């Protein structure tokens, strides 16, 4: 089951900028190649446009601390576990790698903390909301309504 998150603390250091899309395990063990955040600094886009592109360009996006493979915060880790539980494919974006994105995402949803989950461009919530929605069956309904494939959980 989904366990209670531990306090926010680093697990281990990572050095990649941005994080690859996280795919649930496939039968053949195949996994898509890592790709960074699709819109990088210095391309003339505002940070708000970069964020908008991300959340509208990928069905499920998790702004988090650390990566899906190595979360650096208990709250982020808890949402990773929820998404894993549902077998949903998503892109994790490590806000610790980019201060501009870290602040910009807070402004984008007017939400002050991480993690932040987006489904089909819409902000769903942080750790507490996602866990509660998962427990109430609302998250599964949301995924279904939005056409996000899930593994029977």
Ligand X SMILES: N[C@@H](CCC(=O)N[C@@H](CS)C(=O)NCC(=O)O)C(=O)O
The reply on whether position 88 binds ligand X by CB under 6 A is: no
Residues 6+ apart with CB under 8 A from 21: 32, 34, 35, 58, 89, 90, 91, 92
Tell me the residue nearest to ligand X as measured from the CB. Answer: 126
Q: List the one residue out of 109, 117, 113 whose CA is nearest residue 134.
A: 117
Question: What is the enclosing helix (H) or strand (E) of 118?
Answer: strand 116-119
- Residue of 60, 63, 66, 75 that binds ligand X (CB under 6 A): 75
**How many residues sit close enough to ligand X to count as binding (CB under 6 A)?**
11
Rounded Cα–Cα distance for residues 53 and 81 (Å): 25
The reply on whether position 108 binds ligand X by CB under 6 A is: no
Give the nearer residue to ligand X in terms of CB position, either 22 or 65: 65
Question: Segment near ligand X (CB under 6 A), from 18-26, 34-42, 126-134, 138-146?
Answer: 126-134
Give the nearer residue to ligand X in terms of CB position, either 79 or 148: 79
Q: What are phi and psi of 31, to 5 degrees?
A: -145, 140
Cα–Cα distance list, 148 to 24, 86, 117, 144 (Å): 13, 10, 14, 6
The reply on whether position 123 binds ligand X by CB under 6 A is: no
- Residue of 2, 8, 14, 89 that binds ligand X (CB under 6 A): 8
Cα–Cα distance list, 29 to 23, 25, 64, 144 (Å): 10, 6, 25, 25
Question: Segment near ligand X (CB under 6 A), from 19-27, 38-46, 80-88, 109-117?
Answer: 109-117
- Residue of 61, 80, 126, 143 that binds ligand X (CB under 6 A): 126
Q: Which residues contact ligand X (rule: CB under 6 A)?
A: 8, 65, 73, 75, 102, 113-115, 126-128
């Amino acid at each position: 089951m989904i366990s209670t998150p531990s306090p926010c603390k680093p697990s281990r250091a990572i050095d990649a900028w941005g994080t690859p899309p996280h795919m649930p395990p496939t039968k053949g063990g195949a996994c898509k190649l890592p790709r960074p955040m699709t819109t990088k600094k210095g391309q003339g886009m505002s940070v708000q446009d970069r964020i908008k592109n991300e959340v509208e360009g990928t069905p499920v996006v998790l702004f988090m601390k650390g990566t899906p493979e190595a979360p650096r915060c208990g709250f982020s880790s808890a949402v990773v576990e929820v998404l894993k539980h549902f077998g949903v494919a998503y892109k994790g974006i490590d806000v610790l790698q980019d201060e501009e994105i870290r602040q910009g995402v807070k402004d984008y949803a007017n939400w002050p903390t991480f993690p932040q989950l987006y489904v089909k461009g819409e902000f769903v919530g942080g750790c507490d909301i996602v866990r509660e929605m998962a427990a109430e069956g609302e998250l599964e309904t949301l995924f279904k309504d939005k056409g996000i494939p899930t593994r029977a959980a």
